[in-house]
Amino acid sequence: MFGAVVVGVGIAGRVRIRDLLALQSPAETFSVKGFISRRSLEAQQGVSQISAEEAVSRDDIHVAFICTENESHEENIRMFLQAGKHVCVEYPMAMSYKAAVELWDLAQEKGLILHEEHIELLTAEYKQMKKAVEGKTLQEGNFHFTGGALKPGFGFPAFSGIARLTWLVDLFGELSVTAATLEERPTDSYSKMTAKLMTTNNRPLTWVEERGPGLPRAKNISFHFDSCSMDEIPAAAGGSVGIFMQDLLLFSAKLNGTLSPHQVHAEKRRILHCLELADRIRKLCQTSTETL
């Protein structure tokens, strides 16, 4: 049984507490010991607030679930790994590829599990789309995401939107970045990032991450294959197990050593590849802005 603490109690943190409590029977993996928040809060779903200092020092806390804003992920991961705790963190684990490599090296040095959740790969719609794409040869594609303005602390669009990049890598394999631009209107809380990507077979993909007040949350795709085209994400009925619970079970399998080393290695490689791409996109956007 792994004693767990949840860091941050926004929407994701509250869902984590709910799912952890559902897996708290003697036959399951986790026992919730508390939550951490910058605010002073009452008990959440029967779970009491504790300090970060208490969490890192307690022998009965073995795992930390990091559910804070993106820019504080790295600091929190490092603190818990240094204290000898396993970590499950929302994507992205860090705001640079270099920092992510350092965190993974630290986890390996300490003999700990570092798990970056990717619930976007666990949705019914994505699983259906992956089935539809399987066996087809991509000719070219576009993925245009729109959503509301980002809150402070979520970082550069290539990192805050890394779930979309993860979709593209998981569907079409490792990618390279050929160009990237960023249009920003800070007074309007508007941004539009456009990244030009290339598959290993030299097939072009365009990823657009557009955010601003009033923009609908939507994923618009246009994938052209050798045999057909796909212009909308296939509809799919939701499964009986929620996406956060699916991720929790995956993390549990890593802790218990029941996930194959091949799967663990492939996941780590994909995550680091996406973070490296995000870093490259940011640098190209900064360069294009400086030359204007």
What pLDDT, on a 0 to 100 scale, did the predictor assign at position 292? 47
Task: Say whether 292 sits in a helix, a strand or coil.
Answer: coil
pLDDT class of 291 with cuts at 50, 70, 90: low
Averaged pLDDT, 174-188: 96
Q: Is pLDDT at 265 greater than 90 in this prediction?
A: yes
Task: Say whether 223 sits in a helix, a strand or coil.
Answer: strand
Tell me the residue ranges of DSSP E strands in the chain. 2-7, 30-36, 63-66, 86-90, 114-117, 138-147, 175-185, 190-199, 204-211, 218-225, 229-230
Q: Is pLDDT at 28 greater than 80 in this prediction?
A: no
pLDDT tens, 83-117?
Answer: 999 999 999 999 999 999 999 999 999 999 999 99
Q: How far is CA 80 from CA 51, 63, 118, in A?
A: 13, 8, 20
Classify 173 in phi/psi space as left (phi over 0), alpha (psi -120 to 50) or beta. Answer: left
Q: Is pLDDT at 24 greater than 90 in this prediction?
A: no
Tell me the residue ranges of DSSP E strands in 186-266. 190-199, 204-211, 218-225, 229-230
Q: Distance between CA atoms of 125 and 1, rounded to whole angstroms?
A: 33
Lowest model confidence (mean pLDDT) among 149-153, 175-179, 265-269:
149-153
Tell me the residue ranges of DSSP E strands in 38-189. 63-66, 86-90, 114-117, 138-147, 175-185
Whether 95 contacts 158, CB under 8 Å: no
Strand duo 218-225 + 138-147: pairing: antiparallel
**b/e sequence 140-149, b meaning 16+ C-beta within 10 Å:** ebebbbbbee
CB atoms within 10 A of CB 262: 8
Averaged pLDDT, 231-235: 92
Q: Is pLDDT at 238 greater than 80 in this prediction?
A: no
| Angle between helix 73-82 and helix 97-110 axes, rounded to 10 deg | 20
Task: Say what percent of the chain tops pLDDT 70.
Answer: 97
Task: Say what percent of the chain tops pLDDT 90.
Answer: 90
pLDDT class of 26 with cuts at 50, 70, 90: low
pLDDT tens, 48-76?
Answer: 999 999 999 999 999 999 999 999 999 99
What pLDDT, on a 0 to 100 scale, did the predictor assign at position 119? 95
Q: Is pLDDT at 288 greater than 80 in this prediction?
A: no
pLDDT class of 236 with cuts at 50, 70, 90: confident
pLDDT tens, 120-175?
Answer: 999 999 999 999 999 999 999 999 999 999 888 899 999 999 999 999 999 999 99
